[in-house]
Amino acid sequence: MRDQAESLRRLVGEIRSPGPAAGGSQGPAPPGRGRVTRVLAITSGKGGVGKSNLCVNLAYALRQLGHRVLIFDADLGLANVDVLLGTTPRWHLGHLLRGERTLPELIYTAPEGVDLIAGGSGVAELADLSDPELHRFLDQLQALQGAYDFLLIDTGAGVGRGVLTFAVAADEVLLVTTPEPTALTDAYAVTKGILRRRPGARISLVVNQAQSRQEAEETGERFAAAVLRFLGAHVEVAGYIPFDPQVGRAVRRQVPLVLAAPDAPAARALRALAARVAGVGGGRGTPGVGLFFDRLRRFWRSLT
């Protein structure tokens, strides 16, 4: 397995480095020298809170800060990052799991240099992997170590096995909610599920579609207080994204908001979130891809 992973790293390194482009292309990014990859799971308690759209825009905002970013679309059953980007990757995770394509062939470079591993039907197939197949899959993905500054995993919503597997293994979790009571209740359930399996997991809350700063701050404070009181854990409030009609327009155009309307209030908030994410981890020695895959191996079969 070690030889296989090393061969994949060399193959990744032999293929061109992607840069800003008007269109997309299938092909990997070469590994960086001395780069530590931070792994963030973007998750939510319920669908419809803007999780995937936030993940895409965060990736582009981080790219604008000069970081190399890979999105892994792990949303079970609703893998749609490619739709939000208006792209059509030729190959997705299912091709890798079935042995039809290699990891370097799988990575799709979207416009402006953000890379993507499309989920497609492959996310559902992950649940049925045998132990040897799972380890082969992880050995291939581990070849990404050092290739990116950030690996953003767009998980599904809820407390299902696939969601919790990636969330508990990630270096940190960005939990997306709206101020609605149902969204907050479900976000709390996800938090409880993560902490039960990995006490001390780093979870940060992002309040999306807030009508005002006051509403966002009150929402975050109430949520953090409930987690501290009943679960004995601390949740940071990473920021909030205001309700902005330009978000919907950008989604319909299939262009990330930070590109389509960079001066929109929500776009400014997304860039502020990216700056916070990049700054918070920069001086704290945050673990990277290597530890993420070690944890993923441990947790995958233990979750029910």
Q: What percentage of the chain carries pLDDT values higher than 90? A: 54
pLDDT at 301: 64
Domain spanning 29-300: which CATH class is it, in words?
Answer: alpha beta
> Span 197-207, mean pLDDT?
95
How far apart are the C-alpha atoms of 236 and 231, rounded to whole Å? 14
Q: For the chain, count helices (H), then strands (E).
A: 14, 9
**Domain ranges, ordered by start, for the chain:** 29-300
| Strand (E) or helix (H) holding 173 | strand 172-177
Q: Is the pLDDT of residue 13 over 80?
A: no
Mean residue pLDDT across the chain: 83
> Span 280-300, mean pLDDT?
66
- Kindly report the pTM of this predicted structure: 0.86
How far apart are the C-alpha atoms of 26 and 204, rounded to whole Å? 32
Q: How confident is the model at residue 152 (pLDDT cuts 50, 70, 90)?
A: very high
* Strongest mean pLDDT among 91-95, 164-168, 260-264, 277-281: 260-264
